[in-house]
């Protein structure tokens, strides 16, 4: 970012564009892209997102005579749903000395743009972490925001999508389980029975990748069909085309983590689960991505009261802007996101448990 004046440093459009760019850079955020890139866009005018859950008919149309009247078919009955969207926002105070006097990190001279970029990237990352938490929760069937799950949150809400859940008939942790010849066939049939469409994408965690790697039947398939290429190209942060031959699914392995301040490392994705989705071309009818409006200054806010009272304008989703502080002198950097990932068709999102729960005593 080339900085020529204070206006350039604090321009709303520049900062919003940067925070949006920085938020896309983490490789281990696997769930968010399914919503951002493939989901139906929902553009609410208020603070809540509304959407329709639609279940399409799957019965046979009756056969009639040539001169018979048409048989009346039942109309679809969408189920109206709504939820308050998540408002994720944070700020940082940057003293003027850090921007214009002190040596910038990794440099021998002061560099206001470098300092601003570093701090804005850090804000973008924690905002993107929360978006990934929400996106993974939606795919797994439940978004649960509270002080316990997202420390520091002022608003608590729970949103259950009631995605279909199915247990494997035998534990995948057992190396002798017939994963390829029985379990994957059962998984795809369970998905097709519930969704009325073919399974296309399988999102899972390293535990399941380990079950596949150690499984004797899969090992035989690897040796006979693809060799050790599959084993040497495991990609735990995204798409791995080498695994495509196993069940003819697009496998995505995610091991994304975050660490609350003062807390242990946490994972976004629940262990031993596979989230099954249709092919990307059909995701618009299954997933939704709501982005709400946010009011931001119409221009840089740095010149005192007259700047702070300038006109405001609406933006959707990400935003970032800065304003001057006079005691102590410096800049306050604001960034945030307003939106919500939603499941439009819970029947088409299957949460498959590879290690069945132990029966109750």
What local confidence, expressed as pLDDT, does residue 94 receive? Answer: 84
Strands (E), the chain: 40-42, 48-53, 79-84, 86-95, 142-145, 157-160, 164-167, 201-204, 250-253, 257-258, 266-267, 273-277, 287-291, 293-297, 312-326, 329-343, 350-353
pLDDT value for 100: 67
Alpha-carbon dihedral of residues 141, 147, 149, 151, nearest 10 degrees? 140
User: Can you give the residue ranges of every domain in the chain?
Assistant: 6-54+78-353
d(CA 76, CA 70): 18
- Sign, Cα dihedral of 222, 223, 225, 228: positive
Query: Within 10 Å of residue 44's Cβ, how many Cβ atoms?
Result: 19
Strand 312-326 and strand 257-258: pairing? unpaired
Sequential pLDDT tens for the chain (361 residues) = 444 455 666 677 778 888 888 888 777 688 999 999 999 999 998 888 999 887 778 888 889 888 899 888 888 888 888 898 999 999 998 887 777 655 545 554 557 777 788 888 899 999 999 999 999 999 999 999 999 999 989 989 999 999 999 999 999 999 999 998 899 999 999 999 999 999 999 999 989 989 998 999 888 876 655 554 554 454 544 555 555 557 688 888 888 889 888 889 999 999 999 999 999 999 999 999 999 998 888 765 544 444 444 567 788 899 988 888 777 878 888 999 999 999 999 999 999 999 987 765 6
Token look-up 């439940």 returns 142
Q: Please name the CATH architecture into which domain 6-54+78-353 falls.
A: Alpha-Beta Complex (3.90)
User: How many Å apart are CA 345 and CA 275, to the nearest integer?
Assistant: 14
Tokens 């208020």: give the residue. Answer: 46
pTM of the model: 0.84
CA atoms of 167 and 169, how far apart (whole Å): 6
So what's the pLDDT on residue 361? Answer: 62
* Local structure of 201: helix, strand or coil: strand
Distance CA 221, CA 215 (A): 10
């Amino acid at each position: 970012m080339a900085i020529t004046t204070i206006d350039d440093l604090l321009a709303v459009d520049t900062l919003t564009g940067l925070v949006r760019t920085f938020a896309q850079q983490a490789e281990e955020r696997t769930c968010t892209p399914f919503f951002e890139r493939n989901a139906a866009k929902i553009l609410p005018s208020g603070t809540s997102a509304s959407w329709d859950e639609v279940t399409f008919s799957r019965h046979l149309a009756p056969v009639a005579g040539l001169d018979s009247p048409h048989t009346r078919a039942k109309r679809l009955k969408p189920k109206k749903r709504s939820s308050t969207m998540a408002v994720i926002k944070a700020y940082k105070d940057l003293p003027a000395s850090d921007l214009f006097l002190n040596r910038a990190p990794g440099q021998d001279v002061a560099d206001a743009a470098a300092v601003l970029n570093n701090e804005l990237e850090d804000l973008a990352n924690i905002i993107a972490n929360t978006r990934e938490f929400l996106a993974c929760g939606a795919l797994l069937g439940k978004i649960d925001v509270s002080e316990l799950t997202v420390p520091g949150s002022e608003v608590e809400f729970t949103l259950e999508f009631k995605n279909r859940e199915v247990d494997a008939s035998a534990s995948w942790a057992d190396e002798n389980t017939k994963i390829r010849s029985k379990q994957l066939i059962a998984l795809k049939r369970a998905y097709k029975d519930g969704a009325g469409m073919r399974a296309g994408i399988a999102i899972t965690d390293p535990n399941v990748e380990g079950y596949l790697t150690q499984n004797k039947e899969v090992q035989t398939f690897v040796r006979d069909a693809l060799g050790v290429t599959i084993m040497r190209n495991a990609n735990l942060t995204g798409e791995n085309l080498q695994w495509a031959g196993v069940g003819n699914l697009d496998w995505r392995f995610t091991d994304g983590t975050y660490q609350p301040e003062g807390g242990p490392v946490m994972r976004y994705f629940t262990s031993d689960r596979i989230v099954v989705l249709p092919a990307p071309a059909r995701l618009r009818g299954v997933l939704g991505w709501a982005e709400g409006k946010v009011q931001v200054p119409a221009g840089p806010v740095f010149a005192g009261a007259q700047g702070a009272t300038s006109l405001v304008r609406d933006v959707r989703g990400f935003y970032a802007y800065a304003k001057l502080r006079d005691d102590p002198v410096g800049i306050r950097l604001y960034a945030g996101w307003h939106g919500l990932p939603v499941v439009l068709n819970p029947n088409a999102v299957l949460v498959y448990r590879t290690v069945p729960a132990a029966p109750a005593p």
